[in-house]
Structure 1
């Protein structure tokens, strides 16, 4: 299936919708205990149970609309299903809290393995949005490896030392803000190594 373009607003809604719904559900359910089929569940676990099928549905819709999913989207869905499923099945939110740590370590490991081979695999994901020379992608990939390692450590510190509410706030707002701030901070790198695709095509 060939890749198709969709509205940026639709893509943003599909990407961020499940997380926003999880945030709202958690805040509405966090103070209660809910008995389902004879088992008591915390609001955190119930919100997690809602999040899993929702992210699966939005990922499927995104694939149907675009004909393509990135490796990052597939890995995220698989890990949400595994760790979220374990949290619901074992009635223990710990597994779901560990999920961002595993994702960031996985991404850091994959990108790091590419760097050892002299390849910037980040370019495969982001080159269409930000065309750059190979040297620029190597630099950016190294920085992303350190970013992902830092986020993995941060997630571990937050969920192990703070309340569920603080962790949910951190996951919903903190992690995306850090990621956006990091990308914005790379403006000089994009400017120094960026490629003007229009000029390249004309030449």
Structure 2
């Protein structure tokens, strides 16, 4: 979502390409896939170290490609460093396993609060990357906030009640497809609310 709706040749409307959206999904999926491989071929602690290195790498790559400091990815990176570091130092899997709960829960609550006070945070965070009308930002914020809170609750339920191996499998075989499906469902809604009369 790195480009806004713009006039194409001959005055035709052109839409922001979906490529940057799936690039963001790829940046989030890559560390999970590497964690999965590290866990299957080595052990949980090795997988955690690989995951931390991958998160730092994709955060730096995001900064390089976008040409601006990636605030939200950087915050997620800081949480990964903190929880992953505690996991490695204390040899306790719990810290890295609650990381998704912390990040998704916090993001969901902040976005939801911003909508309730009438100042959707997404409109500021994504300024210059996606241009929607006011109704679009409100709707997108509600859906994203509820989805993130759902993911936080789902992560809590799985790591507390299931085996570590199932939790690892869930991160790859359930979470990544869920994120892709959520974007595919959300994209038509966003296109209906592009500024300057963008239509699907």
Scaled to the shorter chain, the TM-score interval is 0.7 to 0.9
User: Is 2:39 aligned against 1:23?
Assistant: no
Contact 1:70–1:125 under 8 Å retained in 2: no
The structure with the larger Rg is 1
Q: Which residue of 2 aligns with 1:39?
A: none
Q: How does 1:88-127 map to 2 (within 5 A)?
A: 88-126=88-126
Query: SS in structure 2 opposite 1:186?
Result: helix
CA distance in 2 between counterparts of 1:120 and 1:82 reads 28
Give the drift of 1:110: 1.5
Q: Which residue of 2 aligns with 1:169?
A: 169
Q: How does 1:191-202 map to 2 (within 5 A)?
A: 191-196=191-196
CA 1:123–1:7 in structure 2 vs 1: closer, same or farther (change >3 Å)? closer
Tell me the TM-score normalised to structure 1 length. 0.76
CA 1:18–1:114 in structure 2 vs 1: closer, same or farther (change >3 Å)? same
CA 1:176–1:14 in structure 2 vs 1: closer, same or farther (change >3 Å)? closer
Give the drift of 1:115: 1.3
Contact 1:130–1:190 under 8 Å retained in 2: no
Q: How does 1:57-96 map to 2 (within 5 A)?
A: 57-96=57-96
| Corresponding residue pairs, total | 181
Q: How does 1:9-20 map to 2 (within 5 A)?
A: 14-20=27-33
Give the drift of 1:14: 4.8
Q: Which residue of 2 aligns with 1:158?
A: 158
Structure 2's unaligned 5+ residue stretches are 1-18
Aligned CA RMSD, in angstroms, stands at 2.8
Which segment drifts farther, 181-190 or 146-155?
181-190
CA distance in 2 between counterparts of 1:102 and 1:76 reads 10
Q: Which residue of 1 aligns with 2:49?
A: 49
Contact 2:48–2:88 under 8 Å retained in 1: yes
CA 1:101–1:123 in structure 2 vs 1: closer, same or farther (change >3 Å)? same
Give the drift of 1:146: 1.1
CA 1:195–1:9 in structure 2 vs 1: closer, same or farther (change >3 Å)? closer
Tell me the TM-score normalised to structure 2 length. 0.77
Contact 1:97–1:159 under 8 Å retained in 2: yes
Q: Which residue of 2 aligns with 1:140?
A: 140
CA distance in 2 between counterparts of 1:84 and 1:117 reads 34
Q: Which residue of 1 aligns with 2:184?
A: 184
Contact 1:19–1:172 under 8 Å retained in 2: yes
